[in-house]
Chains A and B, each alone.
Chain A
Amino acid sequence: MGDYPSRSVDTDAGGPGATDGRDWAAGSGVSPSSPGHPPLGGGGALPKKSRFSTESGFRALSTAAGAMVLVIIVAIAIFLVSKAMPALQENTENFLTYKRWFPNDANPNFGIAALAFGTVLSSVLALLMAVPVALGIALFLSHYAPKRLATPLGFTIDLLAAVPSVVFGLWGRDVLLSPVRDFSEWLNKYFGWIPLFGGNGPFGRSVLLGSLVLAIMVLPIITSLSREVFQQTPGMNEEAALALGATKWEMIRTAVLPYGRPGVIAAVMLGLGRALGETIALALTLSATFDISFNLIESGGNTIAANIANTFAEANDTGRGALIASGLVLFAITLVVNMAARVIIYRRREFRDNAA
């Protein structure tokens, strides 16, 4: 493709012996190229740089792909804002602090407060349940389980991540509902004096149930990413800890956990992102109320995404605009969460970079 000059150019430019492929190959015995082809290392004049190479083509392609990310983000933002603005202008209440959601009324009144609260509460609760279990499984797989057990078990965890959320939602509603209701009643009976577990019922389709389903959903992603980073702990650091007289658990605390910390944070944030945006599983398990309450066991709870799924079908123009505005808030929440995660990871960059 023009990378090498033609034979005639070769002959013109070089000296005797170095230019004739046949003589060159026969004479030296070191050329890997067969007679008739210029040697790969260059045998004559240096070839010109070609103007349209695969190099610049690929460069353009990857630049375009990179720019695409920005275009998509900006397009989404523009779409959300332009659809949300008219509805927000018709709103008769403060969008950020009002708790009810009646955008389809002749007098539209709606606010994000209860929904945003429910979204964050259910996600945080889900993480509180999922993270300790996930880290336990990850450490077991990476450092305790015999290889024969760790490989199939890790594979099973990855399979769990592939279960669609609607299946989790149906399963949670049908299978988990009654044990959660029984457990809630028990909690209410003995720990009702704690506001979290108070109330007069009914119990069951509560934040507790929704978060439990969410926790099971985010468990596999946190587990498999954490296992990956734990396995990457340099063996020489583990040996250093052991040689100082550490037990296995102390070795994990000294060498493995600190090394894996940024990765674990990233994994938790990915899980949180999934939990915040989860729609159908929560639409199926929560009972769609519009209250700000820390009560975990009484039927109730709602999230931004679940509310969109539940009410989009019967929404009018203003209603749809209002739902899109709520989507914008969800977008902002995830953005803040992601940025917070970056800050945590970058704060100790100096240590992490040296670890690489």
Chain B
Amino acid sequence: MAKRIEASNVSSYYGSFKAIDNVSMTVEPKTITALIGPSGCGKSTFLRSINRMHEVLPNARIEGRLTIDDQNIYDSDVDVTAVRRMIGMVFQRPNPFPTMSIFDNVVAGLRLNGVKRKSTLEESAEKSLRAANLWDEVKDRLGRPGAGLSGGQQQRLCIARTIAVEPQVVLMDEPCSALDPISTLAIEDLMFKLKDRFTIIIVTHNMQQAARVSDKTGFFSIDKTGDPGRLIEYDDTQKIFSNPSEKKTEDYITGRFG
């Protein structure tokens, strides 16, 4: 239940502004891939292109090919909602639905897909919350508002909500940047656990985090403001952080730039 993602020559635009230029990379199933780079380098844009969330913004479009197990997700006859069910996403700021209880939040995706049976929903909610390491903390208050949890718990709730629909791939857009170190650690532990089932791609500003959690790392950069972001180097995390082939990568990870 995890799939390979292949991007070839992907460029993303906001109107006439080109945000990323000609990115190609292959992500193997059941791995964690980290995307790092300075602000505005297009790593989030690339991530949002993978589940077609990029096109939610007005005038946004992409060029190139993005396939998941050899099916181009940008084919004109592909149902975009099916793509997003297959490729889940966790956002930078925890965004549980404020009007819903913890339980309703977790099963929101299932309900959207027409699951109505209470026992199925309950089973799935428990399974997802356990998988998100949140079950023990919330099992006694599933009817309470999801937005009443702490930031770290909310983010794990969002992860539970994402994996409840059983996607193939989970995208995470700086999932820890609004969290304290303890909550961050909890999410990182969770990622290791989820790696058995999902292909994970994470955008992060935190290079230690990338080094800790990922198998492969992609380094994005821009030459100057207004230029499109490009994928400078993509390799095993070990290699990127010990012996990168590109000078720019080395400058960035050693803190000389960015």
On A, residues with C-beta under 8 Å from B are 234, 236-237, 239-247, 250, 254-255, 258-259, 261, 348, 350-352, 354-355
Contacts and interface: CB of A to CB of B under 8 A. Distances in A.
Contacts of A244: 84-85, 88, 108-109, 112, 161-162, 165
Given A234-B98, A351-B99, 17 more contacts: A239-B53, A239-B56, A240-B158, A241-B108, A241-B112, A242-B53, A242-B56, A243-B53, A243-B89, A244-B108, A245-B165, A246-B81, A258-B97, A259-B97, A352-B99, A354-B98, A354-B147
Central interface residue in B95, B109, B162, by most chain A CB within 10 Å = B95
A350 B51 CA distance: 33
Given A243-B53, A244-B84, A234 B95 contact: yes
A351 B112 contact: no
Q: Which range contains the number of B residues in contact with the other chain? A: 20 to 34
Interface in B57-72: none
Contacts of A250: 112
A55 B100 CA distance: 42
19 contacts: A234-B95, A239-B53, A239-B56, A240-B95, A241-B97, A241-B108, A244-B84, A244-B108, A245-B81, A245-B82, A245-B85, A245-B109, A246-B81, A247-B81, A255-B97, A261-B99, A350-B145, A351-B99, A355-B98
A250 B108 CA distance: 11
B95 A354 contact: no
Interface in B106-162: 108-109, 112-113, 144-145, 147-148, 158, 161-162
9 smallest CB-CB distances across A and B, nearest first, come from A355-B98, A245-B85, A354-B147, A258-B99, A244-B109, A236-B95, A243-B89, A245-B84, A245-B81
A304 to B, nearest CB: 37
B68 to A, nearest CB: 14
B81 A258 contact: no
Contacts of B147: 351, 354-355
B180 to A, nearest CB: 20
Contacts of B88: 243-244
B113 to A, nearest CB: 7
Contact of B113 (A241, A243, A245, A350): A245
A243 B51 contact: yes
Interface of B: 51, 53, 56, 81-85, 88-89, 91, 93, 95-100, 108-109, 112-113, 144-145, 147-148, 158, 161-162, 165
A259 B56 contact: no
A258 B145 CA distance: 13
A255 B96 CA distance: 10
Given A244-B161, A355-B147, A239 B95 contact: yes
Given A246-B81, A255-B97, A354 B113 contact: no
A237 B98 contact: yes
Contacts of B51: 243
A245 B56 CA distance: 12
A354 B94 CA distance: 13
Contacts of B85: 244-245
Nearest to A250: B112
A241 B112 CA distance: 9
Given A237-B95, A239-B56, A239-B95, A245 B112 contact: yes
Contacts of A259: 97-99
